[in-house]
Structure 1
């Protein structure tokens, strides 16, 4: 259970940033943007994603946001988690208002500190990773801007970014998403998110109910087993050592 909250918080906040770098396999190929628009868009992308931006975003403000979200989630009654997991209404009602924090403090007296250290360690590594991806994000953002905006619109943005207010906006707009105001909003939203989670799980189940269940190992034919062994490589075909 300990990594659950960390993973949930990371998924809720970090995913929008990561999504900028993730290729969509099903997306149709797109034509190259207009070179004139792309040239201006590249300048804008450089201002919107300055060097080291992600490292700063994953710094202290992000850590505070994550810790606030995890802390809020820890105060959610266990019955909400149980309902999300498919427990019957009768069993859920028997759980009362016991929170995840109360339960985890029995299992692990250092639970809160462990969560904070795990989160900060994860965010430190995430900051390093995202810093290596910054050039790709700038290229992607420039192409997106070149397709979305006309050349006159891009030039208007260029002139705005050259002003003191525009320069301030460009370098700070994305980092503000990790600021104290967003931290408070995300922390306050956690109970509502968890309350809605069972409905999301049910919707996912309903969307796949007509599909056959995944195969179990015992369901595989000899041909399928052989194919898996070949895909996994020669080491997979060797018997396990006793």
Structure 2
């Protein structure tokens, strides 16, 4: 279940950071136009006001995560089994038993444990995002400076100066974690889980022509020595008789 929580967390949090990647990395090496960047910085300050991510993690995002994990717990165990590669016959034998039904037998405090774990994770995530917020703001400004022309940026600036624009700027990001999005993500969990086996199969198909990774016993003495040096360790010396 911890893996499920982490996977959901990453899936939901990634779009918030991905907003800064509207251009390919190759283009991001060149400095944006200074005039456009100056205006874009003002826009980024309005779109990501101070403390925004910590507020999101402490309230809306926490509720979204609890709702999504709760929805995932009501998905039949057989859907998880498909992700693990269980045969169709074995999957069919599992019936409609849900993850929640199984977990409540293993752990009578399962639901309370999940909620406490979620709140603790969100608290730490809020602290992390608070430290990342200035970097995200800078990256967003650079992305806007590349994506929009100076007249377009100035038009956005004028819009953000209006009551409606100001309201939009300070609330648009947080609305993505609001109750409507929370409900939509929770409702989508069964469909997401049903598609997971296909995603896993696609990933496996994409690498099927590659040799399997080496195991420790497959390494030559030279390769072992190289790894030990990279990790700052020394090769074991044979025991003296």
Fold match by TM threshold 0.5: yes
Q: Return the alpha-carbon distance in structure 1 between the equivalents of residues 236 and 25 of structure 2.
A: 40
Tell me what 1:68 maps to.
67
Q: Is the 8 Å Cα contact of residues 73 and 100 (structure 2) preserved in structure 1?
A: yes
Q: Is the 8 Å Cα contact of residues 82 and 197 (structure 2) preserved in structure 1?
A: yes
Q: Is the 8 Å Cα contact of residues 41 and 145 (structure 1) preserved in structure 2?
A: yes
CA deviation after TM superposition for structure 1 residue 11, in Å = 1.8
Q: Return the alpha-carbon distance in structure 1 between the equivalents of residues 18 and 72 of structure 2.
A: 24
CA deviation after TM superposition for structure 1 residue 5, in Å = 2.5
Give secondary structure in 2 for the equivalent of 1:211: coil
Q: Is the 8 Å Cα contact of residues 103 and 110 (structure 2) preserved in structure 1?
A: yes
CA deviation after TM superposition for structure 1 residue 14, in Å = 1.1
Tell me what 1:77 maps to.
76
Tell me what 2:220 maps to.
221
CA deviation after TM superposition for structure 1 residue 134, in Å = 1.0
List alignment gaps of at least 5 residues for structure 1. Answer: none
Matched, 1:4 2:30: no
Q: Return the alpha-carbon distance in structure 2 between the equivalents of residues 9 and 224 of structure 1.
A: 37
Q: Structure 1-normalised TM-score?
A: 0.93
Tell me what 1:35 maps to.
34
Q: Return the alpha-carbon distance in structure 1 between the equivalents of residues 35 and 117 of structure 2.
A: 46
Q: Return the alpha-carbon distance in structure 2 between the equivalents of residues 78 and 21 of structure 1.
A: 37
Give secondary structure in 2 for the equivalent of 1:173: helix
Q: Structure 2-normalised TM-score?
A: 0.93
C-alpha spacing 1:109/1:21, structure 2 compared with 1 (3 Å): farther
Matched, 1:164 2:163: yes
RMSD (CA atoms): 1.7
Q: Could you tell which deviates more after superposition, 89-98 or 26-35?
A: 26-35
Tell me what 2:193 maps to.
194
List alignment gaps of at least 5 residues for structure 2. Answer: none
Q: Is the 8 Å Cα contact of residues 69 and 187 (structure 1) preserved in structure 2?
A: yes
C-alpha spacing 1:91/1:109, structure 2 compared with 1 (3 Å): same
Tell me what 1:49 maps to.
48
Tell me what 1:208 maps to.
207
Give secondary structure in 1 for the equivalent of 2:29: coil
Aligned residues: 235
Q: Return the alpha-carbon distance in structure 1 between the equivalents of residues 25 and 15 of structure 2.
A: 18
Q: Return the alpha-carbon distance in structure 1 between the equivalents of residues 73 and 186 of structure 2.
A: 11
1:143-191 CA-to-partner distances (Å, cap 9, x unmatched) read 1101111111100000000001100000000000110000000000000
Q: Is the 8 Å Cα contact of residues 77 and 94 (structure 2) preserved in structure 1?
A: yes
